[in-house]
Amino acid sequence: FTYDAKEDAARVAVAPAEAPFAEHLVYTVEMPGPGQALVTLHWEKTRASLPVAIDVHAVVLASMERQFRGPQQYNWQAWNTAARYCLNNKVALDQGMKWVDRSLAITEAMPNLMTKADLLAAQGDTAQAATLRERALAVGTEPEVNTYGYQLMAAGQVDEAIAVFAKNVKDHPASWNAVDSLAEGYATKGDARRAIELYTRARTMAPAAQYKRIDGEIARLGAKK
């Protein structure tokens, strides 16, 4: 924890002399934020605040290092999760690269290939990142590729998502879910005609439990045409 003692003393010195009366000593945590909060003491008519801060990322990274001394060191998903933490929070990218390389040394799969691709892109190596993404899509399972498509769509990259969904349909033509996701991609893009065609196709393959939802999507898109 770090704080400025002089600043805290000043806070106490200028604290209101006539705070609302509190019979019992009370500590409260106010204004919590990422890695920081204001701890306030309130007793009788005295009120004093102490800002407290912690380097959250440093604590998390150190915790991960400790965990990798145990059984987690043999788990490729754990190394990948740690690398993804660095990427998502834009901290210790070099360390994240070392961790994802450890993950890949154990098992090469779509998730850790994508993590390394994203780390490379974050460090400016877009060419190698693109090559790795292609490799990742080539080894990805149907659910993994589908999930990646939704990640692209959530990021606003609708055309890229459609391309990924289309590849999944090509690779898994008998999957109603792959076709359904491609339909959703076109619906998000605003191409109602193509989306209806694909939803209709997905319905012919889908389990009965999906009929109501798919029919609802077709009706909604039909009303927009």
pLDDT bin (cut points 50, 70, 90) of residue 16 is very low
Please give the single-letter amino acid code of residue 56: V
Nearest Cα residue to 146 out of 131, 132, 130, 166: 166
pLDDT bin (cut points 50, 70, 90) of residue 196 is very high
Check pLDDT > 60 for residue 22.
Answer: yes
Tokens of 84: 């993804």
- pLDDT score for 19: 65
Pairing of strands 22-33, 46-53: unpaired
Tell me which of 15 and 193 has the higher pLDDT. Answer: 193
Tokens of 110: 């779509």
Q: For the chain, where are the E strands, in sequence order?
A: 22-33, 36-44, 46-53
d(CA 186, CA 153): 11
d(CA 38, CA 59): 20
